[in-house]
Structure 1
Amino acid sequence: MAGANRADMIRAIFRAYLSNDRKFVEDAFSDEFRFTSPFDDNIDKATYFARCWQNSDWIERHELERIFVDGDAAFVTYRCVAKDSKSFRNTEFFVFDGDKVRRIDVYFGATYRDGKFVRQQS
């Protein structure tokens, strides 16, 4: 899969999440998929969907700000805007295995409400 196609796949995964198209995302992830975030340490595909997949009705939109692809890896930075005017910016690191996503590591950014910084609870 070429770099442009990897960027297109990332865009498609974000669209699928927003439209609650779980099947598309499941098919985009390899059987060996692993996910890490500040709340999750190297969880597998089944655990990811049990723990992390939620109804996206609370999201107004994703603003994909930049996608950098380098071979089998890519970074995407985005702003997520919730319907309650809360927003946050994250960066995700994708690792591909062929045409499937094998790994995603998420790095959380700051959260804002009505343009003002919201301190997160630990």
Structure 2
Amino acid sequence: MARSKAAIIRSLFDAYLTKQRDVVEASMSPDLRFTSPYDDAIDRATYFERCWPTSETMDAVDIERIFEEGNEAFVTYKTTVGGKTFRNTEFFVFDGDLVREITVYFGASYKDGIFVKQV
């Protein structure tokens, strides 16, 4: 039985926090594409090279909402990485239970719970 997209996304964030790369790898399609303000449709190998090291300094994730429809889902969350807290939204496209595409939209930053204006 297929898992909900929200359950898959939650398990991915949990795996980042608990440093379980094998769980993340098992959830990603071989033809994964990842896009962010720093990355333009990078492949799976490049994703793990550039993005996985973030798990080492990721301290917390607070998922605020997940919207899913069909094989797509949006998640908005706050995360603390290396002592900095910020809010992002990610758009996921799935192929069955595997993540085929992720597009990240960077959001606001916070320090001690207070908004920090970016310059």
**TM-score using structure 1 length:** 0.88
Aligned: 1:33 with 2:6: no
Compared with structure 1, are the counterparts of its residues 82 and 50 closer, same or farther at alpha carbon in structure 2 (3 Å cutoff)?
closer
2:100 corresponds to which letter in structure 1?
Answer: R
**Unaligned 5+ residue runs, structure 1?**
none
Q: Distance in 2 between matches of 1:17 and 1:111?
A: 20
Secondary structure of the structure 2 residue equivalent to 1:20: coil
- Give CA-to-partner distance per residue, 1:65-119, whole Å, 9 cap, x none: 00000000000000002463x2100000000001100000000001111233334
Structure 1 segments (4+ residues) deviating >2 Å? 55-60, 81-84, 115-121
- Which residue of structure 2 lines up, in the alignment, with residue 102 of structure 1? 100
2:116 aligned residue: 118
Tell me the distance in 2 between the aligned counterparts of 1:78 and 1:71.
21
TM-score by length of 2: 0.90
Please report the RMSD computed on the Cα atoms of aligned residues, expressed in angstroms. 1.8
- Summarize the Cα distance change of 1:56–1:118 in structure 2 as closer, same or farther, 3 Å threshold: same
Within 5 Å, give how 1:6-85 maps onto structure 2. Answer: 6-82=5-81, 84=83
How far the C-alpha of 1:5 sits from its partner, in A, is 1.4
Aligned partner of residue 24 in structure 1, secondary structure: helix
What is the distance in 2 between the residues matched to 1:55 and 1:100? 21
Q: CA deviation at 1:59?
A: 2.5
- Count of equivalent residues: 119
Whole-Å Cα distance in 1 between the matches of residues 51 and 30 of structure 2?
17
SS at match of 1:54: helix
